Amino acid sequence: MINIEYKKKIGKELDNFIDREFDKYAIQTGVTCNYQSFYFVATEDNKVIGIITGHTYYQEVHISDLIILEEYRKKHLGTKLVQAVEEYYKDKGFENINLTTYGFQAPEFYKKCGFQVEFIRENKNNPKLTKYFLVKYY
């Protein structure tokens, strides 16, 4: 009997399962997967003040989260973290960096960083939850 259950977190074993199966299918179709998670952490006096996370897959870099402590916002730390991702993956065979953000979050910030809006999914009930899909090509 097949059992399906919700997992809040997965361990290394399931993480390896994902990597292995992604790679196996990609190889069968003649594509290189390159799936890897990344984390760039900003600290000051051993205190975490910001983080940018994401992953690479195929020829793309995807930013998942950018979080800056409130007292460090508007001090260009977010820009520096985005630039760290751009520089790290530059010349490593990736075509673009992409991300999604909501209207209440940071679409204008990412535009200032050089990202272009590819698509907007409008939320008719709550415009703050309108979703922006952005990309920046190398």
Residue 5 lies inside a defined structural domain of this protein: no
Residue 53 lies inside a defined structural domain of this protein: yes
CA dihedral over 80, 82, 83, 84, signed as positive or negative: positive
What is the three-class DSSP state of 89?
Answer: helix
Residue 87 has pLDDT above 90, yes or no: yes
pLDDT tens column, 6-54: 989 899 999 889 888 888 988 899 998 888 899 999 999 999 999 999 9
For residue 44, give the CATH number of its domain: 3.40.630.30
Q: What is the pTM of this model?
A: 0.87
Residue 6 lies inside a defined structural domain of this protein: no
String of b and e for 91-117 (b: at least 16 CB within 10 Å)? Answer: eeebebbbbbbbbeebbeebeebebee
pLDDT tens column, 47-62: 999 999 999 999 999 9
Give the per-residue pLDDT at 44: 97
How far is residue 17 CA from its own chain's centroid? 21
Report the alpha-carbon distance of residue 23 to residue 60 in Å, rounded: 15
Residue 4 lies inside a defined structural domain of this protein: no
Amino acid letter for position 36: Q
- Domain coverage including residue 89: 12-20+31-137
Report the alpha-carbon distance of residue 43 to residue 58 in Å, rounded: 30
How many domains are there within the chain? 1
